[in-house]
Amino acid sequence: MITMKSRHSISTTLRPTLAVGAAFAATGLMAAPPPGQLLSSMCSQCHGTNGLAVSGFESISGKSAAEMYKTLLEMSQRRPENIMDLQARAFTPEQLRLIANYLATLPPAGSETLNK
């Protein structure tokens, strides 16, 4: 049972929390991720976090956006031959472009910016 005292306590506790959330939102600290970042999250399972692969898969960070888009689009349209063809089919051409554009912004393997 919620009493007046507990309502006041809940209200007093929530106000500062809501104020902090509103402040973050107003300052842009809770800004949306770059376009394509969330869509490309599936890629990291094989191609590594930030596109830097481990275990024999190809690193995809820092590659040409146009080249990646062309490859992804071809994979999405051909008869499925492997897992990448099936993965690419899960996205629209517009989403594939966002993914390629985002991955192209990541520093390539061996880049000095990765160690900073």
Query: Which segments within the chain are labelled E, that is strand?
Result: none
pLDDT of residue 39: 93
pLDDT in tens, 42-54: 898 889 888 888 7
Rounded distance, CA 1 to CA 47, Å? 52
Report the pLDDT averaged over residues 30-48: 89
The residue range of the domain holding 63 is: 33-108
What does the mean pLDDT of the chain come to?
A: 82
pLDDT in tens, 60-70: 988 999 999 99
Cβ–Cβ contacts within 10 Å for residue 75, how many?
A: 19
Say whether both 12 and 44 belong to one domain.
no
Residues 108/50, Cβ–Cβ less than 8 Å: no
113 within a domain of the structure (yes/no): no
Q: What is the CATH number of the domain that holds 75?
A: 1.10.760.10
Whether residue 102 has pLDDT greater than 50: yes
Rounded distance, CA 13 to CA 5, Å? 12
Specify the higher pLDDT residue, 31 or 40.
40
pLDDT of residue 104: 94
Say whether both 45 and 102 belong to one domain.
yes
CA angle 54–60–66, rounded 5-degree value: 170
Say whether both 21 and 55 belong to one domain.
no
Whether residue 11 has pLDDT greater than 90: no
Residue found by looking up tokens 């919620």 in the block: 2
